[in-house]
Structure 1
Amino acid sequence: MGVRARFIGLAGLTALLGGCAGTSGPAALPMAAPGPDKGYLPEARLFRLADAVPPPPTPGSALDLDDRARSDAYRVLAGGDRWLLATAHAEVRPELARQHFDCALGVRFQGQVTPRLSALLAKVLHDADHAAERIKARAHRPRPVADDPERVPCQRVTPAGRQTGSYPSGSATVGAAYGEVMAAVDPGHAAQAREIGRQIGVSRAVCGMHYDTDVRVGIDLGRAVGAAIVASPAFRDDLRAAQAELAAVRATGLTNPGCIAEAATLALPLPAPTPPAGA
């Protein structure tokens, strides 16, 4: 990428990230605490979804080694456009996470009042995180930033945070679930909403907070949780209210000036691991 093109890309991403994160990235935040009546799905349904997920890769297995090689390859992204976008995607609290979907839906959420949409996303966050945490409690897989204590993630993380479980990625689970419900809120942009939900998960690998398998499994789980939420009777009234708020936001005619930069950034291929010598 040329110097001028890169400057334009960074400036566009700054506009895109304006309401989400500073250059140092958001802190690693605790998810919603599990509890009754906080989400859409009963605990038993969430546990069935979680219990269908396989265990993490065995240390030293081919899949584990491939995860590590890919994570090492992502180090070259540090400080670049995809890295900056990942700092924003690290923020999954509903009031800010809704802005990740600006470009997918063709709107600008920053500065707009959407209490029903935010409440809907808060319930989704609870359910998705609750399912992911049940899996993490079964077996502990260290994060890339724990396996390499010197590795710098694209968000602020405490020493204790480095030691928390990596499998599956809770943020990838939440992002994919958000993508499913935003696809229901705006069916005309369903594919775009789901893709951003997926990219929120990919960003966790870019950040060095999760391995690729952690992200992939989190995305699959999030999609399953999101689909179950969309099919639940309790979601329907909230859906209508969220759609009315989206229509009001769209009626302002505002769009996010960083969308061209986001599209260019997401079009960049992720670096592949270097083949072993002699391969």
Structure 2
Amino acid sequence: MTRLLITLCFLCATTLSITAQTESVQQQIEAYQKAPKFVKEGMPPLPDASRFLPAPTSENDTKFVSDSCMYEWGKTFRGTLRGDTAIADAGYGISYFLKRFSPAVNQNLTQETHPLLTQLLLSAMNAGNMSIQKAKKKYARRRPYHHFGEGTPVPQDEYPDDFTSYPSGHAVRAWMAAMTLTAVSPEHANDIMKIGYEIGQSRVILGFHYQTDVDAARLAASATFARLCAEKSFHEAIEEARKELTSKR
């Protein structure tokens, strides 16, 4: 019953998540950037996705057919409940991610009620985002809505000079959040990872990313998570967040 109520609350809230942001995009970005870093200067650096990920498929390559098919697949969900969830998944701030994962752990996660978990997720998600920045600049891939000349369900997020499709930033943050939250609450691993996967697929549904952008993001996030696992401070933060989560049951 608890999970059902939390899920229903999430579904109701998603209709307001895009039009009623309580924080500006800049404030949301700064929240990630200000989060404590587990990998500091002088330590072995975070993985650099531009060094280990392959180049994205060219639009003239026969392999691009698969990305094109997945783009069309995504469009079939627009105007449906899944499509509405995809629109909500365009949310960037930590408040949205906490709300999105709440049903998976049977708790109403907020920054106020779970400050330690919030800081842990902010730090982990920021690390994942940092790991793909050079790859985005190196490959400068056009987004699907540019290539196909079609609008998205979130027009306010469309920009004519946005060539940062590969890898997906939303997907890397979602996968980092899912893996980190799984480490905090392993008994809910399946439900947590399912949501992390869905957020990535939402980017395909909206037309902001190709499937290969999302797949690459998950690889980059996995590499970053592995690097964080080498730091004692990361394990300690996970343990503190686990205690906090347990105390709220």
After TM superposition, the score normalised by the length of structure 2 is: 0.82
Deviates more, 1:230-239 or 1:44-53: 44-53
How far is the alpha carbon of 1:91 from its aligned partner?
A: 1.9
Q: CA RMSD in A?
A: 3.0
Conserved 8 A contact 2:165-2:210? yes
- Contact 1:21–1:91 (8 Å) recurs in 2: no
1:175 aligned onto 2:212: no
Structure 1 residue 229 displacement after superposition: 2.0
Gaps of at least 5 residues in structure 2 are 1-5
Cα displacement (A) at 1:25: 6.1
* Structure-1 residue corresponding to 2:16: 22
Deviation per residue, 1:25-59 (Å, 9 max, x gap): 68894674797984323475324455211111122
Q: Does 1:59 align with 2:59?
A: yes
So what's the TM-score if we normalise by structure 1?
0.74
Counterparts of 1:25-40 in structure 2, within 5 Å, are 29=25, 32=29, 38-40=36-38
Q: Distance in 1 between matches of 2:87 and 2:234?
A: 30
1:136 aligned residue: 136
Partner of 2:95: 95
- How much has 1:110 moved relative to structure 2? 5.0
1:244-278: CA deviation from partner (whole Å, max 9, x where unpaired): 221233x2xxxxxxxxxxxxxxxxxxxxxxxxxxx
Question: Does residue 41 in structure 1 map to residue 39 in structure 2?
Answer: yes
The aligned residue for residue 3 of structure 2 is none
Aligned runs of 1:1-279 on 2, under 5 Å?
15-20=9-14, 22=16, 29=25, 32=29, 38-42=36-40, 45-110=45-110, 113-154=113-154, 156-160=156-160, 163-249=162-248, 251=249
Deviates more, 1:103-112 or 1:36-45: 36-45
The whole-number CA distance in structure 1 between the counterparts of 2:127 and 2:10 is: 28
Map of 1:4 onto structure 2: none
CA gap of 1:141–1:49, structure 2 versus 1, over 3 A, is closer
Could you tell me how far 1:61 is from its partner in structure 2? 1.0
Q: CA deviation at 1:100?
A: 1.6
Write the distance in 2 (CA, Å) between the matches of 1:151 and 1:244.
Answer: 45
The unaligned stretches of length 5 or more in structure 1 are 1-11, 252-279
Question: 2:136, 2:164 within 8 Å by CA — same for their partners in 1?
Answer: yes
SS in 1 for 2:227: helix
Give secondary structure in 1 for the equivalent of 2:181.
Answer: helix
CA distance in 2: counterparts of 1:105 and 1:22, whole angstroms: 22
* Alpha-carbon distance in structure 2 between the residues aligned to 1:163 and 1:49: 19
Aligned 8 A contact 1:24 1:155 in 2: no
Point out the more displaced range, 167-176 or 39-48: 39-48
Q: Tell me which amino acid in the other structure corresponds to 1:73.
A: W
* % identity of equivalent residues: 22
Residue 170 of structure 2 contacts residue 203 of structure 2 at CA under 8 Å; is this kept in 1? yes
SS at match of 1:151: coil
State the AA in 2 paired with 1:60.
Answer: N
Question: Structure 1 126/208 Cα, relative in aligned 2: closer, same or farther at 3 Å?
Answer: same
Deviations 1:162-206 (A, max 9, x none): 623100101111111111100110011123222221221111111
In the alignment, is the contact (CA less than 8 A) between 2:132 and 2:167 conserved in 1? yes
CA–CA distance in 2 between the matches of 1:26 and 1:51? 39
CA contact (8 A) 2:175 2:197 kept: yes
- Residues in 1 aligned to 2:59 and 2:81: alpha-carbon distance in whole angstroms: 32
Q: CA deviation at 1:118?
A: 1.0
Return the letter of the residue paired with 1:221.
A
- CA distance in 2 between counterparts of 1:131 and 1:197 reads 18
